[in-house]
């Protein structure tokens, strides 16, 4: 909780730097996490809680395989709506169906999926084989209107594009070719109003710079209207996170 306090103090000194905080809380504590949520609620900048559910054999994981179904973890999760806090999480394609069940069982809690529910392409996962599985799971997840998606995060090594291994980084056009089909699928599946463009900086830096990344995102979405793009690149985030 002290980290959120420090961020709030930075905002007080420089109001343009921070407009919302996604804080960390261990929902596996069950009801015992409530004092932390109460403390966070006193901080007007805290708009949500992040607890990553990503898990895969042989990959750095931050949860157990069935964390989203654990009764005590769900006990903690159930408290989020009480304090009007959204839930942010990074998952792999393996956890999409579990999060869909979570969205179904807790319809009053806003769930934000980071990095488009990473379709894995390393550690024995073949990206071309994973993609149709990922797509079908994402279609099911999209049925729940309390779920939103951060569009980006594909510069990390998990997807197996291999850009981070190159001596010369990719151009924005190369990223458009590689990432475009995934991004356009997500926007078409969830709709413009439930998608938010993200930088995921600095985790994407092994692949490309911030500028190249956003040039790629802008090129991928140029088929959408100016209003739609303005929503995806800014206004949706303000609405979903209730940033004033």
CA-based diameter of the chain, in Å?
50
Instruction: Report helix, strand or coil for 177.
Output: helix
DSSP 130: H
pLDDT at position 30 over 90? yes
Query: Do 183 and 220 touch, CB atoms closer than 8 A?
Result: yes
Instruction: Report helix, strand or coil for 180.
Output: helix
pLDDT at position 58 over 90? no
pLDDT at position 233 over 90? yes
Tokens 């303000």 correspond to: 238
Q: How confident is the model at residue 191 (pLDDT cuts 50, 70, 90)?
A: very high
Range of lowest pLDDT (13-17, 138-142, 190-194): 13-17
DSSP 118: E
How far is CA 173 from each of CA 64, 140, 179, rounded to the nearest angstrom? 37, 31, 10
List, in order, residues 6 or more apart from 60 with CB less than 8 Å away.
none
Average pLDDT over the chain, rounded to an integer: 95
pLDDT at position 199 over 90? no
Residue 190, pLDDT score: 98
Residue 130, pLDDT score: 97
Helix, strand, coil shares of the chain as percentages rounded to 5? 50, 15, 35
Q: How confident is the model at residue 1 (pLDDT cuts 50, 70, 90)?
A: confident
Q: Percentage of the chain surpassing pLDDT 90? A: 89
């Amino acid at each position: 909780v002290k980290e959120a306090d420090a961020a709030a103090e930075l905002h007080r000194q420089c109001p343009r730097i921070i407009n919302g905080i996604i804080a960390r809380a261990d929902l596996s504590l069950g009801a015992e996490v409530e004092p932390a949520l109460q403390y966070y609620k006193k901080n007007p900048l805290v708009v949500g809680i992040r607890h990553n559910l990503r898990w895969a054999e042989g990959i750095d994981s931050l949860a157990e395989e069935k964390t989203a179904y654990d009764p005590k973890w769900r006990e903690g999760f159930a408290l989020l709506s009480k304090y009007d806090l959204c839930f942010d999480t990074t998952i792999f394609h393996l956890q999409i169906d579990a999060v869909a069940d979570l969205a179904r069982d807790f319809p009053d809690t806003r769930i934000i999926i980071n990095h488009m529910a990473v379709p894995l392409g390393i550690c024995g996962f073949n990206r071309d084989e994973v993609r149709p599985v990922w797509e079908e799971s994402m279609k099911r997840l999209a049925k729940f209107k309390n779920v939103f998606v951060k569009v980006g995060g594909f510069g990390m090594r998990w997807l197996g594009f291999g850009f981070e291994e190159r001596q010369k980084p990719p151009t924005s056009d190369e990223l458009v070719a590689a990432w475009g089909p995934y991004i356009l699928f997500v926007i078409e599946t969830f709709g413009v109003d439930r998608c938010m463009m993200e930088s995921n900086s600095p985790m994407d830096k092994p692949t490309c710079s911030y500028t190249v990344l956003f040039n790629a995102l802008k090129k991928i979405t140029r088929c959408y209207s100016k209003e739609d793009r303005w929503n995806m690149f800014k206004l949706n985030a303000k609405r979903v996170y209730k940033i004033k």
